[in-house]
Structure 1
Amino acid sequence: ALGAGYLIARRGMRPVARLAEIVDELGAGQLHRRVADEHWPRELRTLAANFDRLLGRLETSFNRISRFSADIAHELRTPLHILRGEAEITLSRRRSPAEYQACIESAMEEYGRLSGMVDALLFLARAEQPDARLDKPMLDVREEAAAVCAFYQAMADEQDVALINEAGGLVAANSGLLRRALGNLLDNALRHTPAGGRVCIRTTIQPSLLQIIVSDNGSGITPEDLPFVWDRFYCADAARLRQGQGTGLGLAIVRSIMQLHGGEVALQSELGRGTTVTLSFPMIATETPVLR
C-alpha cells in the first residue's frame, strides 16, 4: 500500500512539476508564451488559465513600457542633436557677440521644450502611482475656466480667435489639475483654429455627471488619427513637433487627470469642422488615487 501510494502520488505530481518547470523558464523574452495550451489535469486547468491571464497583463505592460522608453529616447534625441549641431557650428570659428547671442537664444528655446517634456513625463509617471492622493474640494467651474481663459486670452487675441466661457456649476476636483487639463485643451484648440474662429467652454449636467465641454470650429482631426490622439508623443501634425510647438503629451496628460478624478474623457472631431472634447466628472466625490 505504501509503495502504491508513493507511485500514485508521484505520478499525480508530475503535472505540477511540469508547470513549475515552465514557470521557471519564463523571462522577459517569453512573456508571449502560454501554459494553458498544454494538456493539464482538470485540477490545474483553472490555475493555468489564470496564469495565462497574468502573463497577458505582464506582456501588455512590458510592451507599453518598452514603447514608452523608445519614444522618450526618440523625442529627446532630436532637441539634443539640434543643440549640439548649433553649438558645433558656432564654435567652428570666431564669431561676433550678436551671433553668439543668437545661438544662445535658439538653445534657450530647445531648453524650454526639453524642460516642458520632462515635467510632463514626470507628471504622467506620478499619476500612475497607486498610492498618490488628491485633494478635491468643491470648485466653481466658471471661475476655474475664467482663470484659464485669462491666461490664454493674449494668444487668442493674437490669432483673432474668440475665447468664450459659458461654464457653470460645481465640481469636486483639484484646482491645479483641472486648470492644467483645460489649459492643454485650450492650447490645442487655439493652435488649430484659424482667424475668425471660436473656442468655447461650457458645461452640462447629467444625472450623475458634470461635463465640461471644450469645443472649437477649427481644422479638426482626420478619422485615421482619431484612434491615436491619446497616445503619448503622438501628433497628427508632425511639423508642429519639429518646430517645437508641442510634445505630443497634452492629451495623454488630460486623460491621466480624468482617471485620477475617477472621470472620463471623450473626443469627437470632424475634419474641417472642429473638435469637441468632453470631460465627465462624477457629481459625488469619491476616494480615488491621486496626485499631490
Structure 2
Amino acid sequence: MNVFQSSIRQFVIRTVVAIFLIACFNILLVGVYIYRFQQSVSGETAILPLIKQISGNIRMVDNRYEIPDSMTNELEKQNIWAMLIDDHSGKLLWIHKLPQDIPTHYTLSDIATFSRYYLKDYPVVAWKHPKGLIVLGYPKNSLSKLNYIFPYGELQAVPFRILFLIVCDLFILFLLYFYIGRKSIKSVHNILTGVKSLASGDQIHLKEYGDFSEVANQLNRTSDLLKRRQTAQENWIAGISHDIRTPLTVILGYAESIETNSSLPKEVQDKASLIKYQSTRLRDLVNDLNLITRMGDDSQVLRLEVFYPSVFCRALIASFLNSGVPDIFSVELNIDKNSEPVCLIGDRRLLQRAIYNLIHNCIKHNPAGCNIYVRVEARKQDMLFIVSDDGRGMTPEEIHLLKTRTQYLGSDNLFQFKQHGFGLYIVQQIVKMHSGSTGFQINTFGGLEVVISIPI
C-alpha cells in the first residue's frame, strides 16, 4: 500500500508543477502580446497626433495648401491619403494621393456619415481646421473602427495567436508528460510484462527501478518461490515414479505368470488377470504423471517422423485388442478411403498415447460395457482422429469444463476432473504440441465423442 501511496503522491506533485508551469507560460505569452499590441497602437497607428500636426501646420503657399515634408513622408510611409474639405462649398481645398474612387465634393450629410466610420471602405479620421475639415484615409482592411481604433492586422492575428497559445500548451504538456511520465510508464510496463510472463508459467527476473521497484521485487520473489515449488514437485513425482516402477514390475511379472499357469484353478487365474489389469492401469497412471510433468516444464520434445495415419491406427487398434479387452467392450475401426494415401508428420509415440488414452477412457468410464468407434478422416488441411462410444457420455457442464480448463496439476477444482482427468488432459496437451485442436461433444448415441484435428 505504501508503494501506491508514494506513487500517487508523486503524481499529484508532478501534476501541480506542470499546471503551474503552463500557467506561468500563458501569463508570459499574453503579457508579450499585450506589450506588442500597445507598441503597435502607440507607434504605427498613432492617428490623432498625426492629424493634429497636419491641421496645425498646413499653410497656404502660392494659392495652394502645403504641409511640411516631414509630414508628407510620414503619410507616404503609412500609405495614408489626405484631403481638406471646404466648410462652405464642400469642395476639396487640398489633397494628398487621393484614390480615384473618392468623391471630390461633399455635403454635410456625407461628412456626417463617413466622419465616424468609413468612406468607400477606407477607414478615415477627421479633424477640425479653420478652413474646413481635414480627413486622413487609411488603406482598406488596415484598421477596424470600433469604439477604439485597432490595427486590422492585429485583430486578424488574434485567432492565430490563440491557436499558437494552445499549440504551445499542448507541446509543453507533451514535454512534461514525456519527462515526468516516461519513467513511470516504463516501470508499469515492466510490471505488466512480468505479470503476463508469470501468469504463463515463465520464470521472471524484473529490473527493480522506478516508482514500482518494490512491486518488481515482490514479483521476482514470487517467481523464485513458484520455481522452487515446481522443482520440488517435479523431484517428488520423479522419486515416487521410480519407487513405484520397480515393485510394479514384479507384481506384473508374477500376475502374468499366475494368469498363464494352466495348472491353477480358473478363479485364481481370473484374480491374477484382474491384478495384472489394475497394475497396468497403475503403470499407465505413473507414466501419465511423468508425461504431464515434462509437458509442464516444456522438457518434452517432439520426435517428428513421417507416417501413414491409416497404417498407424490399424497397428494401434490391433495392439490394443491383443492386450486383452473385456468381452463387454468392442472396438471398431473405420478408415476413410481418402486418408489412405495421406502422410502425416508428428510424434507417433505421443499420438499413439493420445488415442490409447481416449480408448481407455471409454472403457474406464463405462463399466457396464459399450461399443467404441475409432474413425480416421482426411480433410483438405487436417487429419481427423475421432474416438467415440455409446456409453454414459458426459453432461454439458462437464464438456464445458473440458473445453475451458487450462491446467490439471495444482488446480483448485481438481475434484471436478475425477471423472475425466489425466487421460483427456494429456490428449489435449499432446494435440496442442502438434499445433492441432481437440473437440468434445455428445454423439448421436448419447456417448462422448472426441475429435482430434492435426494439420497435415
Are residue 147 (structure 1) and residue 315 (structure 2) matched? yes
CA contact (8 A) 1:138 1:171 kept: yes
Kindly provide the amino acid, as one letter, of the partner of residue 179 in structure 1: Q
Are residue 55 (structure 1) and residue 228 (structure 2) matched? no
Superposed displacement of residue 146, structure 1: 1.6
Secondary structure of 1:221's aligned partner: coil
Structure 1 stretch 273-282 or stretch 151-160: which is displaced more? 151-160
What is the match of residue 88 of structure 1? none
1:148-187 alignment, distance < 5 Å: 148-153=316-321, 156=325, 158-166=327-335, 168=339, 169-187=342-360
Superposed displacement of residue 195, structure 1: 6.3
- For residues 387 and 375 of structure 2, the distance between their equivalents in structure 1, rounded to whole angstroms, comes to 7
What is the match of residue 281 of structure 1? 454
Superposed displacement of residue 173, structure 1: 1.5
Superposed displacement of residue 206, structure 1: 3.0
What is the match of residue 408 of structure 2? 232
Superposed displacement of residue 254, structure 1: 1.1
CA contact (8 A) 2:335 2:377 kept: no
- For residues 47 and 110 of structure 1, the distance between their equivalents in structure 2, rounded to whole angstroms, comes to 55
CA contact (8 A) 1:120 1:249 kept: yes
Kindly provide the amino acid, as one letter, of the partner of residue 408 in structure 2: R
User: CA separation of 1:112/1:138 partners in 2, compared to 1, >3 Å: closer, same or farther?
Assistant: closer
Kindly provide the amino acid, as one letter, of the partner of residue 218 in structure 1: G
Superposed displacement of residue 186, structure 1: 0.7
Which structure has the higher relative contact order (CA within 8 Å, separation 6+)? 1
Secondary structure of 1:41's aligned partner: helix
- For residues 212 and 137 of structure 1, the distance between their equivalents in structure 2, rounded to whole angstroms, comes to 18
- For residues 275 and 185 of structure 1, the distance between their equivalents in structure 2, rounded to whole angstroms, comes to 10
- For residues 290 and 200 of structure 2, the distance between their equivalents in structure 1, rounded to whole angstroms, comes to 21
What is the match of residue 41 of structure 1? 181
What is the match of residue 438 of structure 2? 265
In the alignment, structure 2 segments of 5+ residues that lack a partner are 1-5, 11-179, 202-222, 245-267
- For residues 160 and 132 of structure 1, the distance between their equivalents in structure 2, rounded to whole angstroms, comes to 33
Kindly provide the amino acid, as one letter, of the partner of residue 51 in structure 1: I
* Deviations 1:254-292, CA, capped at 9 Å, x for gaps: 122112222222212369701111111111xxxxxxxxx
What is the match of residue 5 of structure 1? none
CA contact (8 A) 1:222 1:270 kept: no
Superposed displacement of residue 250, structure 1: 1.0
Superposed displacement of residue 183, structure 1: 0.3
* Deviations 1:177-218, CA, capped at 9 Å, x for gaps: 111111001111233457674322223333322121112222
CA contact (8 A) 1:138 1:170 kept: yes
- For residues 373 and 387 of structure 2, the distance between their equivalents in structure 1, rounded to whole angstroms, comes to 6
In the alignment, structure 1 segments of 5+ residues that lack a partner are 1-13, 19-39, 81-100, 241-245, 284-292
Select the residue among 302, 306, 313 that pairs with 1:134.
Answer: 302
Kindly provide the amino acid, as one letter, of the partner of residue 252 in structure 1: Y
* Deviations 1:87-143, CA, capped at 9 Å, x for gaps: xxxxxxxxxxxxxx9xxx899988766543332222122234446532222211122
User: CA separation of 1:144/1:110 partners in 2, compared to 1, >3 Å: closer, same or farther?
Assistant: closer
User: CA separation of 1:132/1:160 partners in 2, compared to 1, >3 Å: closer, same or farther?
Assistant: closer
Secondary structure of 1:199's aligned partner: strand
RMSD after superposition = 4.3
User: CA separation of 1:114/1:195 partners in 2, compared to 1, >3 Å: closer, same or farther?
Assistant: closer
Secondary structure of 1:213's aligned partner: strand
Select the residue among 360, 379, 382 that pairs with 1:206.
Answer: 379
- For residues 120 and 194 of structure 1, the distance between their equivalents in structure 2, rounded to whole angstroms, comes to 22
- For residues 145 and 42 of structure 1, the distance between their equivalents in structure 2, rounded to whole angstroms, comes to 59
Aligned length: 211
CA contact (8 A) 1:162 1:199 kept: yes
User: CA separation of 1:112/1:133 partners in 2, compared to 1, >3 Å: closer, same or farther?
Assistant: closer
- For residues 272 and 261 of structure 1, the distance between their equivalents in structure 2, rounded to whole angstroms, comes to 30
Kindly provide the amino acid, as one letter, of the partner of residue 143 in structure 1: V
CA contact (8 A) 1:205 1:211 kept: yes
User: CA separation of 1:162/1:210 partners in 2, compared to 1, >3 Å: closer, same or farther?
Assistant: closer
Kindly provide the amino acid, as one letter, of the partner of residue 126 in structure 1: R
What is the match of residue 9 of structure 1? none
What is the match of residue 51 of structure 2? none
Superposed displacement of residue 45, structure 1: 1.9
- For residues 450 and 285 of structure 2, the distance between their equivalents in structure 1, rounded to whole angstroms, comes to 23
- For residues 280 and 187 of structure 1, the distance between their equivalents in structure 2, rounded to whole angstroms, comes to 19
CA contact (8 A) 1:142 1:165 kept: no
Secondary structure of 1:163's aligned partner: strand
User: Could you state the TM-score of these two structures normalised by the residue count of structure 2?
Assistant: 0.38
Kindly provide the amino acid, as one letter, of the partner of residue 142 in structure 1: S
CA contact (8 A) 1:140 1:171 kept: yes
CA contact (8 A) 2:389 2:445 kept: no
- For residues 59 and 278 of structure 1, the distance between their equivalents in structure 2, rounded to whole angstroms, comes to 29
Kindly provide the amino acid, as one letter, of the partner of residue 139 in structure 1: F
User: CA separation of 1:153/1:109 partners in 2, compared to 1, >3 Å: closer, same or farther?
Assistant: closer
User: Could you state the TM-score of these two structures normalised by the residue count of structure 1?
Assistant: 0.56
Pick the structure with greater CA Rg: 2
